[in-house]
Amino acid sequence: MTAPQTQMTTKQSTPLVLLAHGSKYAQWRAPFEQLADDLRKDVGTDNVLLCYMESASPTLLDTVRGLAAAGVTRCRVLPLFMAQGAHFNTDIPGQLEEIKRQFPAFEVTLLPVIGQHPQFLTLMRQLTKEAVNA
């Protein structure tokens, strides 16, 4: 389902890295893999990568390692979380420190969690209203 990530970047672009929580269960990972595949098709670029916090691979560090090896010097990370919790406030900053230690010239821009985006909140409100009225 997911395209090989080693062939996805060019030095001139800024890849978007989707960061999901992770699970050892393939059925849990499937919607995130589908999202990444669909985004690659929708935006006409191969510069959409998917990684996981835990329990699945690749990790954020693995992904940055591959980007750096391909000559890429920066990326943007979009956490696919509902809210800013321990992963966002503690774990991701720790991973970013390790990335900076291993790849001092690599620039990572951490975006806000997707679940707190106004459009996402509007969609959740709409879907919950439909569930209440069902």
Instruction: Give mean pLDDT, residues 101-117.
Output: 96
d(CA 81, CA 87): 9
Say if CB 108 and CB 77 are below 8 A apart. yes
CATH number at residue 97: 3.40.50.1400
Whole-prediction pTM value? 0.86
pLDDT of residue 13: 76
- Buried b / exposed e over 2-28, threshold 16 CB at 10 Å, is eeebeebbeeeeebbbbbbbbeeeeee
At 35-89, the pLDDT tens digits run 999 999 998 676 899 999 999 999 999 999 999 999 999 999 999 999 998 889 9
| DSSP-H helix ranges across 1-134 | 26-42, 60-69, 86, 92-102, 118-132
The chain-wide mean pLDDT, for the chain, equals: 90
Residues spanned by the domain of 90: 5-132
Domain count, the chain: 1
d(CA 79, CA 101): 21
